[in-house]
Amino acid sequence: MTPPSISPPAITETAITGPAIAALACEGLSKRYGELVAVEDVGFAIAPGQAYGLLGPNGAGKTTTISMLVGLLRPDAGTVTVGGVDLAEDPMRAKAGIGYVPQEIALYPELTGRENLRFFGRLFGLPRREVAGRIEEVLDLVGLTGRADSRLSTYSGGMRRRINIGAALLHRPQVLILDEPTVGVDPQSRKAILDGVERLVEEGMALLYTSHYMEEVERVCDRVAIIDHGRIIADGTRQELISLVGSADKVELSLDGDVDTALAKLRVVEGVIEAARTGATSIRLITEGGRYLLPSLITAVDGCATVTATQVVEPDLEATFLHLTGSTLRD
């Protein structure tokens, strides 16, 4: 499915040139691998105390973008500034403002939680007399004070995720970059992580957040960019993005029969904007006036499939995402 041609909204003036210097800003970021365009002309700015979500299907360019933001990849074009400091010109000072939490648990399993934090604290230049105190603060922040002296290999998945975030907070960064921070954790740990992240943002930390979980992004982020095929195709607040799909509704259909043929027939029904297969027997539609369109939809598939269940959902961020990218987040 070809994504609809929607120009990304211009980055707001306040975000880039407003009175406060952006905690993290990038402009015109591009990266190519031979003929493959991984990222093209990506730009956004995150103010202190702002939580910014980066949404996109796998292979959309999220990880490449983050790698360029934290200095792991050199962009072919474009600039990154952290608190006004150009990453290319003064990488040490710029990186001092970034707390990067990679998707994997980037810590040493044979060390204890405290030993891991002490190592990264020293590595990131914390003064010797401050290290112990700062470690206690971070352990308290991520709720692991009681398990600080256990080896990481004995931690649960959620505890590892929390200490993974803690290691990025040691040097008091201006901006926290979280790449899929809740993958594989139980609901309780996920809640603890999201609560902690929200608290940090309330205290003035800027946040760049990527996740497969749309509800997390909707909860934590006050601004979201949707990235696909290496480009930001939409950028705005939740309401601004949802308004891009107008009054469209999401219709979930469960079918029995030839689902592919049914999908082709549903696409041409008047009022259907987008259609995507979401499972072996399920199809998701973005429609105008979905509730009233149901009889036409059922009639359209008559002969090749039978509708066994329907659900009509009001527009939300996921519907917008589907509308803009033509795929689900887990594709």
Partner 1 sequence: MWRALVAVSALELRTRLRDGTALVIALLVPVTLATLFSLALGGDDPPLRATVGFVDLDGGEFPAGVRREVLASEELKGSVTLRDLPSREEAARALDADEIGSAIVFPAGFSRNVGDGRGGDVAVLTSPRSPLAGVVARAIVDRISALVDARTLAVRAVLLAGVPGDEVKELVERNGAAGPALTLSDDPLSGGKVDLAVYYGSGMAALFAFFVVGASFRGLLTERKLGTLDRMRAGPLAPWVPFAGKAAVGFTLALVSVCVTWAASVLVSGATWGDPLAVFAVLLAHVLAATAITMLVAGRVRTDAQADGVIMVISFVMAFLGGSLVPMHNLPEVLQGVALLTPNGWTSTALTELAGSGAGLAAVAGPIAVLCAIALVAGGLAVIGLKKGMLL
> Which of 9, 37, 79, 119 is close enough to bind partner 1 by CB under 8 A?
119
Is the CB of residue 317 less than 8 Å from the CB of residue 288?
A: no
> Which of 83, 102, 230, 236 is close enough to bind partner 1 by CB under 8 A?
102
Question: For residue 297, what are the CA distances in angstroms to 59, 143, 237, 258?
Answer: 33, 51, 32, 15
Q: Does 205 bind partner 1 (CB under 8 A)?
A: no
Q: Does 307 bind partner 1 (CB under 8 A)?
A: no
**Closest of 259, 305, 267 to residue 286, by C-alpha:** 267
Q: Does 96 bind partner 1 (CB under 8 A)?
A: yes
**Closest of 296, 287, 286 to residue 327, by C-alpha:** 286
Q: Does 29 bind partner 1 (CB under 8 A)?
A: no
Q: Which two tokens stand for residue 83?
A: 């608190």
Q: Does 155 bind partner 1 (CB under 8 A)?
A: no
Of 1-9, 116-124, 292-300, 304-312, the segment contacting partner 1 by CB under 8 A is: 116-124
Neighbours of 233 (CB within 10 A): 21
For the bound state, the minimum distance from the C-beta of residue 74 to partner 1, rounded and expressed in Å, comes to 5
Q: Does 275 bind partner 1 (CB under 8 A)?
A: no
**Closest of 201, 313, 183, 173 to residue 247, by C-alpha:** 313
The one-character DSSP state at 231 is E
**Which CB, 101 or 251, lies closer to partner 1?**
101
> Which of 93, 191, 199, 330 is close enough to bind partner 1 by CB under 8 A?
93
> Which of 18, 59, 84, 125 is close enough to bind partner 1 by CB under 8 A?
125
Name the 3-class secondary structure at 129: helix
In the shown chain, the binding pattern of residues 38 to 77 toward partner 1, with x for contact by CB under 8 A and - for none, equals: --------------------------------xxxxx---
What is the total count of residues that contact partner 1 (CB under 8 A)?
A: 28
> What is the pairing mode between strands 51-55 and 282-288?
unpaired
CA distance 235 to 207: 15
Q: Please report, as a single letter, which amino acid is at residue 250.
A: K
> Which of 134, 171, 223, 323 is close enough to bind partner 1 by CB under 8 A?
171
**Closest of 74, 57, 42, 15 to residue 211, by C-alpha:** 57
**Which CB, 48 or 71, lies closer to partner 1?**
71
**Which CB, 75 or 290, lies closer to partner 1?**
75
> Which of 31, 62, 95, 160 is close enough to bind partner 1 by CB under 8 A?
95
CA distance 45 to 35: 28
Q: Does 120 bind partner 1 (CB under 8 A)?
A: yes
Q: Does 167 bind partner 1 (CB under 8 A)?
A: yes
**Closest of 174, 178, 172 to residue 124, by C-alpha:** 172
For the bound state, the minimum distance from the C-beta of residue 152 to partner 1, rounded and expressed in Å, comes to 11
Q: Which two tokens stand for residue 182?
A: 């809740």
Is the CB of residue 227 less than 8 Å from the CB of residue 65?
A: yes
Q: Does 213 bind partner 1 (CB under 8 A)?
A: no
Name the 3-class secondary structure at 79: strand
Q: Which positions lie near partner 1, rule CB under 8 A?
A: 70-74, 92-93, 95-96, 98, 100, 102, 104-110, 119-120, 122-125, 128, 167, 171
